[in-house]
Structure formats: structure tokens, C-alpha cells
């Protein structure tokens, strides 16, 4: 029987579908008999999702200051990356 | 704003031939996403803007050697990540709490010391609120830097293990271990708000 410690150790492989068949069976059997580990898995997954949504939800991707665009384009000139006139 | 594939090929050709308006098109199409990436890594508006600028200069220099196997946006995203990490490395480290105290603890028989309850439904609902999202980001910021960065690269920026290992200059194994610890630690920090069971 897999222990809670082992279940916790396999969470990433489980979420990414990388457990081999025998480990997956032992992992599943433990979860069936251990509600706290089921809860841990649910909250572990929810934490990843909460991080993803929190970091992305407030991204102001459409608010690009014009002065930044101008600075980027002029930095190309400053770095001498423009084609030289013949 | 993504550039459609056919237009992207035309844009790439125009960039390689040095057409001035192509550079502006590239900057307008991709600077938003790049700024978001730099903000997430650097957590400082001015530093993020500087990193975007540096990233574009690197991209302008490298446009002739860009192989076109990836999309321009993906290529620029990696350059923005690299520029941000370079800036981060040059900054003084802040005082950090040990991650060990945030990792799960077990009894000698391998059972978890804390019996968690399932707070995932309330987390899903609460993250709709701006205040909760700010709390989650603050929790991410409490992670020691090496763990925060791996979490951002893998779970937010969606680099795979090998890509994250390459930009960080560490092995795949190190990335896996850091990600594993970062996720456990973040879960623990979020549990303080969303609720956790008592020690057994």
C-alpha cells in the first residue's frame, strides 16, 4: 500500500499523466481509501489553477504606452541596427 | 494581438530586409504580451519596461538567425523571459523565508500530519475576485526566488521542463524538484486563506 508521503511525491507525475501503470494503480487505490489525500490532490490542483488565473487575469496586455513603443524603436537606431544608406 | 501565419511569413521577410514599418508592426503586435511576462517575473513596472526594450534589441539583432521553426511570438516570449531573468540576477536578493516550513510534514508511518479538507470549490469561486487574485500573487511572491521563478516559467508561462532548465541553466531534474516544492508551498500558503484541517 502506497503511503501519503509517496502519494504527495507523485502528484506532478499524476497530473501530467506520466505515472506508469503499476504506480497509477497503487496511487488510485490509495486515493480511494484516503479522503485527506483526495482533498490534498484537489487543493493542489486548485492552487495551480488559482496561480494561473491570478497571474493572467490582470495582465494589461492591450495597454502599451506609446512612449515605450517609441523607446523600443529608437533603441534599434541607437544600437546601430538600421540598414546603412548606400 | 497575434499575427496570422501567412502575414507572419511576410512580416519576417520584411524584417530581414530591414523595412522600417515591419519593426513597428512587430513591436505593436508583441510588446503587450512581452510586457506582461516581464511584469510577472520582475514585479516592477519600470524594470519590466526596460526588460522589454532590451528583449526587442536582442530580437532585432537576432532576426537574421531566427530559423522560423517556432512562431515569432513564441521566440519573442523566450527572449523576454531571458531578458527578465538577466535583470533579476543582477538585483540584490530580498530576505526570504525558508521553503522547508511550507512543505507537507509526515508522521513516521508516512501518513500526512495535517488532514486537509477540500477547499478547491471556494478557491475557484474566490479567484474571480480581484482581491483574491492579489492575495494569490502575494503568496507567489512569498516563495523564495528560485521557486517563484520555476513556478512562473512552468505553470504560468508554460515553458516545458527542458525549456525552463535551459533558460535557468540547471538540469531538468532541478526544475522538477523546484516546481514540486513550489507547488506544495503555494498550496500551503493558499490554505491559510481558504481553510485547512487540524493536525492529527
Residue A83: is its pLDDT beyond 70?
Answer: no
Q: Largest Cα–Cα distance of chain A, in whole Å? A: 78
Residue A46: is its pLDDT beyond 50?
Answer: yes
Cα distance between residue B120 and residue B197, in whole Å: 13
pLDDT for residue B200: 39
Q: Higher model confidence: residue B96 or residue A17?
A: A17
Angle, vertex CA B28, rays to CA B27 and CA B34, nearest 5 = 65
All residues of chain A having their beta carbon less than 8 Å from the beta carbon of residue B53 are: 68, 71-72, 75
Residue A69: is its pLDDT beyond 90?
Answer: yes
Q: Would you place residue A84 in the very low, low, confident or very high pLDDT band (cuts 50, 70, 90)?
A: low
Cα distance between residue B118 and residue B124, in whole Å: 12
Q: Higher model confidence: residue A83 or residue B96?
A: B96
Q: In this predicted structure, which of A76-85, B60-69, B112-121, B177-186 has the lowest mean pLDDT?
A: A76-85
Cα distance between residue B37 and residue B21, in whole Å: 25
pLDDT in tens, B31-55: 999 999 999 999 999 999 999 999 9
Count Cβ atoms below 10 Å from residue A77 Cβ, excluding itself: 10
Contact call for residues B147 and B154 (beta carbons, < 8 A): no
Q: Would you place residue B198 in the very low, low, confident or very high pLDDT band (cuts 50, 70, 90)?
A: very low
Non-local (6+) Cβ contacts of A60 within 8 A are B32, B35, B36
Q: If contacts are CB pairs under 8 Å, which of residues 67-86 in chain A contact chain B?
A: 68-69, 71-73, 75-76, 79, 81-83
Distance from CA of B10 to the nearest CA of A (A): 19
Return the CA Rg of chain B.
20
Contact call for residues A29 and A1 (beta carbons, < 8 A): yes
Distance from CA of B69 to the nearest CA of A (A): 23
Task: Please state the pTM of the whole predicted model.
Answer: 0.89
Non-local (6+) Cβ contacts of B63 within 8 A are B12, B15, B16
| Chain A contact probe: residue of B41, B122, B136 with most A CBs at under 10 A | B136
ipTM given for this complex? 0.88
Q: Does the CA dihedral A19-A22-A28-A31 come out positive or negative?
A: negative
> SS3 of B53, please?
helix
Contact call for residues B134 and B126 (beta carbons, < 8 A): no
Contact call for residues B154 and B189 (beta carbons, < 8 A): no
Residue A48: is its pLDDT beyond 50?
Answer: yes
pLDDT for residue A52: 96
pLDDT in tens, B131-186: 999 999 999 999 999 999 999 999 999 999 999 999 999 999 999 999 999 999 99
pLDDT for residue A59: 65
* Measured CA distances, B48 to A46, B34, B87, B149, B195 (Å): 28, 9, 9, 15, 34
Residues in chain A: 86
pLDDT for residue B196: 67
pLDDT for residue A86: 44
> SS3 of B136, please?
helix
pLDDT for residue A36: 95
Q: If contacts are CB pairs under 8 Å, which of residues 15-44 in chain A contact chain B?
A: 36-40, 42-44
Count Cβ atoms below 10 Å from residue B110 Cβ, excluding itself: 14
Q: Does the CA dihedral A13-B37-B119-B181 come out positive or negative?
A: positive
Tell whether A66 lies on the interface with B, counting CB pairs under 8 A: no
pLDDT in tens, B69-89: 788 999 999 999 999 999 999
Amino acid at each position: 500500500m502506497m503511503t501519503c508521503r509517496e502519494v504527495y511525491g507523485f502528484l506532478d507525475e499524476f497530473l501530467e499523466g506520466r505515472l506508469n501503470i503499476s504506480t497509477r494503480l497503487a496511487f488510485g487505490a490509495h486515493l480511494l481509501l484516503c479522503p485527506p489525500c483526495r482533498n490534498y490532490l484537489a487543493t493542489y490542483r486548485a492552487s495551480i489553477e488559482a496561480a494561473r488565473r491570478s497571474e493572467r487575469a490582470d495582465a494589461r496586455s492591450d495597454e502599451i504606452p506609446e512612449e515605450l513603443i517609441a523607446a523600443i524603436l529608437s533603441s534599434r537606431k541607437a544600437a546601430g541596427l538600421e540598414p546603412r544608406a548606400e | 494581438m497575434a499575427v496570422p501565419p501567412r502575414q507572419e511569413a511576410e512580416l519576417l521577410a520584411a524584417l530581414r530586409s530591414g523595412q522600417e514599418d515591419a519593426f513597428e508592426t512587430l513591436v505593436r503586435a508583441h510588446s503587450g504580451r512581452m510586457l506582461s511576462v516581464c511584469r510577472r517575473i520582475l514585479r516592477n513596472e519600470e524594470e519590466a519596461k526596460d526588460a522589454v526594450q532590451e528583449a526587442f534589441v536582442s530580437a532585432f539583432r537576432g532576426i537574421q538567425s531566427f530559423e522560423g521553426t517556432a512562431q515569432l511570438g513564441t521566440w519573442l516570449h523566450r527572449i523576454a523571459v531571458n531578458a527578465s531573468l538577466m535583470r533579476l540576477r543582477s538585483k540584490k536578493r530580498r530576505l526570504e523565508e525558508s521553503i522547508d516550513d511550507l512543505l507537507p510534514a509526515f508522521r513516521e508511518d508516512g501518513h500526512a500530519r495535517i488532514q486537509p479538507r477540500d477547499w478547491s470549490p471556494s478557491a475557484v469561486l474566490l479567484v474571480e475576485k480581484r482581491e483574491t487574485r492579489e492575495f494569490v500573487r502575494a503568496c507567489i511572491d512569498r516563495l523564495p526566488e528560485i521557486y517563484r521563478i520555476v513556478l512562473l516559467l512552468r505553470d504560468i508561462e508554460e515553458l516545458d521542463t527542458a525549456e525552463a532548465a535551459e533558460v535557468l541553466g540547471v538540469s531538468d531534474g532541478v526544475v522538477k524538484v523546484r516546481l514540486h516544492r513550489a507547488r506544495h508551498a503555494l498550496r500551503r500558503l493558499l490554505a491559510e486563506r481558504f481553510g485547512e484541517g487540524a493536525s492529527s
